[in-house]
Structure 1
Amino acid sequence: MCLSPFLLLGGPALCSASPQVTADAAVLMDAETGRILFERQAHQPRPPASTTKIVTALLGFEFGDLEDEVIISQKAGSTGEASINLFPGERVALGDLLTGALVRSGNDACVAIAEHIAGSEEFFTLWMTAKSRIIGGRSSQFFNTNGLPHKHHWSSAYDLAVVTREAMRRPEFAATVRSRRATLKNRQGWPKEIKNTNALLWSYPFADGVKTGTTRAAGACLVASATKNNRQLIAVVLHSDDRFGDSLRLFEYGFNQLR
């Protein structure tokens, strides 16, 4: 319970105790206003791992037609680690690629999205960096679409909150990242049924997105969204020992800030 002199005067209860967060960098943002409710090393450039895919998908939804047929290139089909197992020459709807990137964290899907939208992944990453800066990011520079290790590829907790706030305004993006499971309807290969990597969707009833990320350099990362009583918060934790627990504690802190 929050105790405050404001409460005795009939005003709102203010909770000031900071949440216990293990992440090296973190941000909690009010999605409506952009107000920062909590921060730790918020502007420190760090490897973002697969949270990069938020920016890739934002541009994919903005500039692509979800019904477009994409022919998978040799480069996209051979992109490894987390993937949806695309193969060169396969024909896939852009909407399925975006779902595969956000829900299953498909590295291969991100390359295919970039090549379809911009002609090459290299050119698309210039758009990613520019998009981040245009909407208020300060630290990001992207050298790939999926967050695979690159010594000059980085973002920050604050920048990731900013791009997520922008992305969640798009109904298609928001609907995709809150899905626990999804079906890739218009592809030739497998898998067709995929499960979201964001465990917070099962463990926290107010969670409605967004994206996990993990590499050795980045550690365990999570950009998460939750909505309670018509108030949406965005939490970012980078290099965390307990990314789901950190995010839950940030959300509860934020929702209790003003009651």
Structure 2
Amino acid sequence: MGSFFCRRLLSVFLLVFLLASPAVAQNDVKKTKGVSLDTSHKFVPKQAQAKKKPNEKAQTVKRPSVQELKRKVAEQYNVVAAEVPKELQGKLTCRSAYVMDAKTGKVLYDLSADRPGQPASTIKVLTGLIAIESFTGNEMVRTSAYAANMPASKIYLRKGASYQASDLINAVLLASANDASVALAEKLAGSEQAFARLMTKKAEALGAQNTICKSANGLTRPGQQTTARDLATVFNRAMRNPDFAERMSTVKVHTSDGKVLRSHNKALWTVDGAVGGKTGYTAAAGKTYVGKFQRDGQAIVVALLGSAAMWDDIATLVEHGFTKQEMIASRHDGDAAGGIQVSQVSPRDPGKEHVDYAMLTLSGQKKKIKM
């Protein structure tokens, strides 16, 4: 009789042991009457289980920041990861912008660079370049009534009067004269419309893919457009022409009849390294700009469309461009020394600023980490 009760008691203990074992529980919460078994395999009365408060938010896993990822990478590979420049979006007022290395063509910054918009007077870069390449001497240009009646900005050419082509080119590139632009266009192509078609073809020949000209001076026309990328590309190529580059770098010049022409490009005397540029403004375009800058043997081209605070935007983009160049140069120096390779890759997305990536290479190992 005693052995019978001992066997029954042993069976109960064995049953309890089996119910509490991982093999039976299998990490699932099993329920019995009035009692539930949690994943830690401990019996917990229902009344003792924690209840979620109505306003209590579910806990979320905190993702590591970019700085933490960089630190972990540096610790793992015993290196110092290069700092990625801070984003400029939010610091700029322009709708689109583009910064490129003038020597290599490398993209240094892209904010909706392929978004089309009215160019305003920046398109006069093409007018001036075509005129420089077309006139061989001091040819005289007669002003039509149509050209003389162009709205400001202008140098107030007189209907029927003739002017030296070189003076009119300076008026276009420095003083942004609308009347001089049309006078040159009519002289070279017979009409402003025909000259605008030449401008479009010239832009395409220089590498622009989304530029359509409808006027010689950039005044708003239906169907007329350019992009920040196209402006930078065209201006960079135009600056290879010594005559064009010299005129673009001029702050003030006198015409043959004694008029003083002053550059609208305030960056020439306010931004370190400015060597030439063209401004523009219309209500449809906003403030527009394209220009070249040089520092310590490096050169960049900056273009923007639709700016509300153009000079602030220019200064910000120029500093960012040269900072990015310094980063690239330091990486190249590291490569030459046989050190770690750190390269920037920016997949192009016309609608938004590029996402930065960093690649670290050490002793033949390659690890790509999205930053």
Could you say whether these structures have the same fold, taking a TM-score greater than 0.5 normalized by the shorter chain as the test? yes
- Distance in 1, Cα, partners of 2:83 & 2:325: 5
Provide TM-score, normalisation by structure 2.
Answer: 0.64
Opposite residue 143 of structure 1, the aligned amino acid is K
> Which structure 1 residue ranges, 5 or more long, are not aligned?
none
2:103 pairs, out of 25, 32, 35, with 32
Q: CA deviation at 1:21?
A: 2.0
Secondary structure, in 3 states, of the residue corresponding to 1:258? Answer: helix
Opposite residue 97 of structure 1, the aligned amino acid is L
1:209 pairs, out of 272, 276, 283, with 276
Q: How does 1:93-242 map to 2 (within 5 A)?
A: 93-185=164-256, 187=257, 192-242=259-309
CA gap of 1:75–1:158, structure 2 versus 1, over 3 A, is same
Q: CA-to-partner distance for each residue in 1:73-115, whole Å, 9 max, x for gaps?
A: 2221121221011111222111111100011110001011111
Provide TM-score, normalisation by structure 1.
Answer: 0.90
Opposite residue 252 of structure 1, the aligned amino acid is E
The structure that has the greater radius of gyration is 2
Partner residue, 1:81: 152
CA gap of 1:22–1:124, structure 2 versus 1, over 3 A, is same
Q: CA deviation at 1:145?
A: 0.6
Is 1:16 the equivalent of 2:80?
no
Is 1:72 the equivalent of 2:143?
yes
CA gap of 1:9–1:58, structure 2 versus 1, over 3 A, is farther
Partner residue, 2:362: none
Are the aligned partners of 1:25 and 1:44 in contact in 2 as well (CA < 8 Å)? yes
- Distance in 1, Cα, partners of 2:183 & 2:126: 14
Q: How many residues align?
A: 250
Is 1:61 the equivalent of 2:132?
yes
Partner residue, 2:117: 46
Secondary structure, in 3 states, of the residue corresponding to 1:213? Answer: strand
Paired-residue identity, %: 32
Secondary structure, in 3 states, of the residue corresponding to 1:256? Answer: helix
- Distance in 2, Cα, partners of 1:152 & 1:93: 32
> Which structure 2 residue ranges, 5 or more long, are not aligned?
1-69, 327-371
Q: CA deviation at 1:247?
A: 1.2
- Distance in 2, Cα, partners of 1:205 & 1:258: 16
Are the aligned partners of 1:68 and 1:93 in contact in 2 as well (CA < 8 Å)? yes
Q: CA deviation at 1:18?
A: 2.9
Q: CA deviation at 1:119?
A: 1.9
